[in-house]
Amino acid sequence: MITVTIETQIFFAAALFVIGLIGLLIRRNIVFMLMSVEVMLNSAGMVFIIAGSHWAQPDGQVMFIFVLAIAAAEVSVGLALILQMYHHFKTLDADALNKLKDTENESKNLN
């Protein structure tokens, strides 16, 4: 049986995390961004599992189930927000929602 070293396992989890992060940063569609967040969450869960098996402790798996539950809750809230967003703005583009930016630099009038 091929033994997979812990470094490889951690590298796998880190790769998963970076993929999720890159997806989050380059995607403009909010649905894909949410999915990328899920990938990142899974990579974090992956680390728990790896740590649990490495030290032969059940805590890692317990934590993973915990993360899974939270992720499910988070997705439901996130999807509800996305629905509302689409309902209000008729778009799924995250960049289109930029009302919070500093439109007028008032501090320039200080002098």
Which one of the spans 7-15, 48-56, 72-80, 99-107 is the region binding another protein (CB under 8 A)?
99-107
User: Residue 5 interacts with another protein (CB under 8 A)?
Assistant: no
Site map 51..90 versus another protein, x via CB under 8 A: ----------------------------------------
Q: What number of chain residues touch another protein (CB under 8 A)?
A: 18
Question: Around Cβ 49, how many Cβ atoms within 10 Å?
Answer: 15
Q: Of 10, 19, 24, 85, which one interacts with another protein (CB under 8 A)?
A: 24
Question: Which residues in 4-30 are b (16+ Cβ under 10 Å) and which e?
Answer: eeeeebeeebeebbeebeebbeeeeeb
Smallest distance from the beta carbon of 12 to another protein, in angstroms?
Answer: 19
Question: Which residues in 83-109 are b (16+ Cβ under 10 Å) and which e?
Answer: eebeeeeeebebeeeeeeeeeeeeeee
Smallest distance from the beta carbon of 62 to another protein, in angstroms?
Answer: 25
